[in-house]
Amino acid sequence: MAEAREPVTTLDTPIRLEYLFSAGIAQSKNLRGLAEGRFVGQRCPVCSKVYVPSRGSCPVDGVPTDEEVALGNTGTVTTFCVVNVPFAGQSIEIPYIVAQVLLDGADISFMGLIQEIPADQVRMGLRVEAVWVEPDQLGPSMASVKHFRPTGEPDAEYASYKDYT
């Protein structure tokens, strides 16, 4: 006779899968640009919007965005949040600012770290510029952008970025 046992209620089944990442032709151009310390976007031939990075198509028109557009180093904070919560692996001192940055000439914002300004002074419309890592540290990733910092220019008018918030 088997003795009565507690039912099994949990079991661990460790799963690990490794993948290649397929950036695609369009985003590869953007990543190579980052490795050279510059932002590369692509323009939609139908609606003329500039995506940075482009995944290869205009998500509105569904056509290839094959016109390459060199973008500058400056942009505008369209929205932001203050990070006050510490978490494992955090490399930046809290509080710090994560913002959506709309590069000049681009039609889509991306996430960036804002530094060199007290957290309570960051605001929508703040003009910022990218600070790149040292040339020998540049690589095909957003880690090439150390952070964004204020340019000192007057804030952008709300109307100039209201469609991107």
Backbone angles phi, psi at 162, to 5 degrees: -65, -25
Residue 24 interacts with another protein (CB under 8 A): yes or no: yes
SS3 call for 65: coil
Confirm if 164 and 108 have CB atoms less than 8 A apart.
Answer: yes
Residue 26 interacts with another protein (CB under 8 A): yes or no: yes
Q: How far is the CB of 95 from Zn ion (least distance, A)?
A: 38
For Zn ion, which is the closer residue by CB, 61 or 67? 61
Q: Kindly report the number of other CB atoms within 10 A of residue 1's CB atom.
A: 3
Number of residues that bind another protein (CB under 8 A): 25
Residue 47 interacts with Zn ion (CB under 5 A): yes or no: yes
Residue 60 interacts with Zn ion (CB under 5 A): yes or no: yes
* Cβ within 8 Å of residue 150, ≥6 positions away: 116, 117, 126, 127, 128
**Binds another protein (CB under 8 A): choice among 32, 35, 36, 60:** 60
Residues that bind another protein (CB under 8 A): 11, 13, 15, 17-28, 55-64
